Amino acid sequence: MGACISSFAQNKSINSVEGAAKMIKFFPNPASSNINFELQRGYDQSYSLILFNFMGKKMEEFAPGSQIINLPLNSFYRGIYIFQLRDKKGNIIESGKFQVVK
């Protein structure tokens, strides 16, 4: 009797949609002093960008008035942070993570 071995390496994340265009780009990653969030064409100005530390505490919230947000990382400690782009109803449009190195 042989053992059935399966690999989960090729399973897609629930949140990823194959071929879907990203609404937001961020750079540099990892970041040390500043990070930029660039919203792609077609974003709704009612969206909000929310940043959380890895423990889930809200760090910042922005209502993007322009296509590029430059965020100084003075008040951020070294570590992993999560961002969420949400619509006006609070639904998550896109999320991701970035690293701060100091």
Sign of the CA dihedral with 94 first, then 95, 101, and 102 last: positive
Say which residue the tokens 């919230």 belong to.
61
Sign of the CA dihedral with 59 first, then 50, 65, and 32 last: positive
Taking only Cα atoms into account, the Rg of the chain, rounded to an integer number of angstroms, comes to 17
pTM: predicted TM-score of the whole model, two decimal places = 0.76
**Segment 59-76, tens digit of pLDDT:** 999 988 788 999 999 999
Q: Is residue 4 part of a domain?
A: no
Residue-range definition of the domain harbouring residue 83: 24-100
Say yes or no to pLDDT of 14 above 50.
no
Beta strands per DSSP E along the chain:
24-27, 34-39, 48-53, 58-62, 68-72, 79-86, 92-100
State how many domains the chain has: 1
| pLDDT-based confidence at residue 35 (cuts at 50, 70, 90) | very high
Q: Is residue 85 part of a domain?
A: yes
